[in-house]
Structures are given as C-alpha cells and as structure tokens.
Amino acid sequence: METCGAGLWRDYESLLELLDLVFLDLKHIDSTRHQYLTGTGNERILDNAVRIAEHAKDKNIELVVRIPVVPGLTDSPANIRGLASFVAREMKGAAGIELMPYHKLGRGKYLSLEREYELSNLQPPSNEHLDSLKEIVSSCGVKVIEYR
C-alpha cells in the first residue's frame, strides 16, 4: 500500500491485516508548514504513522517511510532531521527512509488536465544536496533506503 497517512485509522487497521509492504509518505514535520503545503495539518498523519509502525512491527510488515525532497519546500536540513528523528523515536517498526527527489514527470499530467503546474521553475535537487540529507537521516539512526 502507498499512503500519505491522512485516512481514518479504522480503515488502515483493517487494510494492514492484508499487507506485507507499506510505503508511507511524510512531507513535513511542522504542522503549520504541512498545512501550507498540502492543505491539512500533520497531526492525524503522524498519529497514524506511529500506529502503522507499531502494527508493522507486530505483524512483520515492511514499512518504508518516504520523504519527497522538493527544493525550497521539504528539503531543509531541519525538516529532514525532524522527520528522521520522529521515525527513529516513534516508528520503531519502520525499515528506513527513502528520500524521493523532486522530478518533473507530473508536469504533463497537469497540462493534460489544463491545470497550472506551479512547480515548473523548480529543478531537481543536486546529488550533493541529496547526499547531505542522507547523512542527516543516518545520523539520526535511521537506515537510508534506495530503490534505484
């Protein structure tokens, strides 16, 4: 299952019984910033993340936390450190964190829907920046997962 974690716990709880792998996206540790970026705070998401991790640990489900690395929005060292520290402290059942660098592959979909692609001026993060963020994740005691 791939999820942003914003659903109701009762729905996750019933689905987790059927799964062996969960990808859970966490975007920002600060709820106000999360609200600005996504339109909703992160309280329910973080609560569900902890519950999903507990369930994953008990039921031997692989849980991968994914963080989209969007320049200027989610890629600050403080945000990555905050999320990695949260995973280390509160999500003992997580296998690790995958940092997902921003790309422009979604641009065509926006154009086909006749919607403005507001991130068109952004460039993907450099390899050096990604490496520095991976070091932050590792320094928090969380495994960096790469699927390349």
93 in a structural domain: yes
- What tens digit of pLDDT does each residue of 5-35 get? 999 999 999 999 999 999 999 999 999 999 9
Question: Is the pLDDT assigned to residue 148 strictly greater than 60?
Answer: no
- What tens digit of pLDDT does each residue of 102-139 get? 987 777 777 788 888 777 788 899 999 999 999 999 99
148 in a structural domain: no
The residue with tokens 């994740």 is 137
For every residue of 129-148, DSSP letters joined together read HHHHHHHHHHHTT--B----
Number of domains making up the chain: 1
Nearest-10 crossing angle of helices 43-59, 77-90: 40
52 in a structural domain: yes
Q: What is the pLDDT of residue 110?
A: 76
Q: Which domain, by its residues, includes 68?
A: 2-139
- What tens digit of pLDDT does each residue of 67-116 get? 999 999 999 999 999 999 999 999 998 999 999 999 877 777 777 888 88
123 in a structural domain: yes
Q: What is the pLDDT of residue 125?
A: 94
| CATH number of the CATH domain containing 112 | 3.20.20.70
38 in a structural domain: yes
